[in-house]
Amino acid sequence: MENTSMFHSHPAPGDASFAPEPIEALPVPDDVAQWQGTRQRLLESWQAVLGQPAFDNSDTFDRSAEHLTTFDQEHYTGTILLQPTTPTTRQTVLLMTP
C-alpha cells in the first residue's frame, strides 16, 4: 500500500505538462507599498499558471452547495455535497468531520 501511495503522490516529472517552478521562500517586504507590488506579481503569476474561468466572472448563478447525504463512519461523519464550479457544472465533494 505504501508503495502505491508514493507512486500516485509523486508522479514522474515527464507526466507534467509544464516545468515545475522551484520552491523558494518569498522575501518579506518592509512596508505595505512594497507588499502591494509583490502581491500584484504573485497574482499575475498565479493567473498565468491557472488561467481564467471560461465563463464571465460577473455571471450570477447559485453558488451554494447542494446537500446529498450524510453518513457516519467509525472515525468521522461524511457529508456528500454538490458544489457549483461554473453556471452549468457541479463537482461532488466529500466533507469529513471528526
Q: Angle at Cα 22 formed by Cα 16 and Cα 25, nearest 5°?
A: 140
pLDDT score, position 14: 63
Does the pLDDT value for residue 96 go beyond 80? yes
Does the pLDDT value for residue 34 go beyond 60? yes
Q: What are phi and psi of 33, to 5 degrees?
A: -60, -40
Does the pLDDT value for residue 22 go beyond 80? no
Lowest mean pLDDT among 5-9, 28-32, 41-45, 64-68: 5-9
